[in-house]
C-alpha cells in the first residue's frame, strides 16, 4: 500500500454548500422535543455568553441525549453541535453510539471526519473519532492519504503522526515509511517528528541489530554534518547508540567524528552536551572522564551557552 492508495470519494474532503441554518425551535420535525437549557446553578460565577445558535443546538442535544434518541435527525444534530464545539468528547461519543445503532455506511463518516480534521487539525477528539471509525471498519486504506495531506500542510502535527503510527502498527503497514522519513528529513533536517518516526519504524521492523546500527549511525552523522546545532539528529544518534552493545561512549566512528569537530573548532551546544553524556558514561570506570565533564561544563557556561550558566555550573559540581 502506498500513500496514493484510496478507496474512493470517502477518502477525500467533501466540499458542499449547506443550506442556511434554521433554529431547531423553528423546525416542524422537532416540535415533539422539549429543549433542556443548560443549568449553571442559581448564582453562576462567570456565565458564558453563548450565542443563540449555540444555546439552541445544545438545548435540543441535551433533550435528545436525555431520552436516548438514536435517529437520523439526532445524527444531524450532533453534526451541528460538533461544528460549534469540535472538542466536546460527549457529543463525539454519542455520535458513535448513533452510528452503531443505525448501522449507517461508515465510509460517509470517514468523509465527515476528514472535513473536520481539515478544519481542526490539532483537535484531539477529531482524531480520536477518526481512529474509532477506522477500527469499526477494519479498513485503513484512506489513512495514508489523510495523514500525508495533513503532514504536507504541517509536517510536525503530533496528532497526524500519532494517527499514522497507530495505523501502521495496528495493520502492519511499514513498507513505505523509511522512504517517507528520508524525504521529510531531506526537506527539513530539523524535523524532530520525522526523526522520531524513523526511530519508531526501525524499532518496530528490523530492530537495532548491529548492521542497522552501523547504517543509522552513518546516516545520522551525515545529517549532523549539514547542521551541527540540530538537536533532533543528536538525540536520534544518542538513541541509536543506547541500543548498541558498547553504549553511547563506545562507538569509535562517532568518537572520531566528535573529535574532528572539536579540532576544527566547529563547536555547538549539542556537540558538547553529547560529549558530556559520553564522558558521564565513561566516568563509572575512568576518573579522568569526570574531569572532562567539568571541562565541558565550563565551556558551555562561559563561552557556548552562557544563558544556562547556572545549570552547567551545577552539573559540574554534581560529577
Active-site residue set: 122
DSSP string, 108-137: HHHHHHHHHHHH-TT-HHHHHHHHHHHHHH
Q: What are phi and psi of 170, to 5 degrees?
A: -70, -40
Q: What are the grid coordinates assigned to 37, written together? A: 437549557
Of 57, 64, 55, 54, nearest to 34 by C-alpha is 64
DSSP string, 159-198: HHHHHHHHHHHHHT--TTHHHHHHHHHHH-TT-HHHHHHH
The rounded distance, in Å, linking the Cα atoms of 87 and 187 is 33
Residue 315 has, within 13 A of its CA and on its CB side, a CA count of: 21
Distance (Å) of CA 156 to CA 148, 190, 237:
12, 10, 20
**290 CB-contact burial (10 Å; exposed 0-12 / middle 13-18 / buried 19+):** middle
| Helix 269-282 × helix 287-299 angle, to 10° | 160
Amino acid at each position: 500500500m502506498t500513500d496514493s492508495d484510496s478507496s474512493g470519494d470517502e477518502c477525500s474532503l467533501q466540499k458542499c454548500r449547506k443550506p442556511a441554518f434554521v433554529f431547531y425551535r423553528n423546525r416542524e420535525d422537532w416540535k415533539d422535543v422539549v429543549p433542556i437549557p443548560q443549568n449553571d446553578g442559581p448564582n453562576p460565577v462567570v456565565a458564558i455568553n453563548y450565542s443563540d445558535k449555540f444555546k439552541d443546538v445544545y438545548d435540543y442535544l441535551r433533550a435528545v441525549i436525555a431520552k436516548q434518541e438514536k435517529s437520523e435527525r439526532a445524527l444531524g444534530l450532533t453534526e451541528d453541535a460538533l461544528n460549534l464545539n469540535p472538542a466536546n468528547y460527549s457529543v463525539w461519543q454519542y455520535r458513535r453510539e448513533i452510528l452503531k445503532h443505525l448501522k449507517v455506511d461508515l465510509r460517509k463518516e470517514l468523509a465527515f471526519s476528514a472535513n473536520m480534521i481539515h478544519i481542526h487539525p490539532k483537535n484531539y477528539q477529531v482524531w480520536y473519532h477518526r481512529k474509532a471509525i477506522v477500527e469499526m471498519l477494519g479498513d485503513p486504506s484512506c489513512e495514508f492519504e489523510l495523514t500525508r495531506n495533513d503532514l504536507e500542510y504541517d509536517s510536525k502535527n503530533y496528532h497526524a503522526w500519532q494517527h499514522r503510527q497507530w495505523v501502521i502498527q495496528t495493520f502492519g503497514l511499514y513498507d513505505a515509511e523509511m522512504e517517507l522519513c528520508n524525504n521529510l528529513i531531506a526537506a527539513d533536517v530539523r524535523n524532530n517528528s520525522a526523526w522520531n518516526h524513523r526511530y519508531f519504524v526501525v524499532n518496530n521492523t528490523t530492530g537495532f541489530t548491529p548492521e542497522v546500527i552501523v547504517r543509522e549511525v552513518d546516516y545520522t552523522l551525515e545529517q549532523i554534518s549539514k547542521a551541527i546545532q540540530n538537536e533532533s539528529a543528536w538525540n536520534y544518534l544518542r538513541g541509536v547508540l543506547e541500543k548498541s552493545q558498547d553504549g553511547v561512549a563506545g562507538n569509535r566512528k562517532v568518537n572520531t567524528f566528535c573529535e574532528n569537530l572539536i579540532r576544527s573548532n566547529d563547536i555547538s551546544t549539542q556537540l558538547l552536551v553529547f560529549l558530556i553524556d559520553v564522558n558521564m558514561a565513561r566516568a563509572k570506570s575512568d576518573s579522568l572522564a569526570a574531569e572532562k565533564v567539568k571541562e565541558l561544563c565550563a565551556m558551555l557556561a562561559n563561552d557556548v551557552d552562557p544563558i544556562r550558566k547556572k545549570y552547567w555550573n551545577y552539573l559540574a559540581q554534581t560529577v
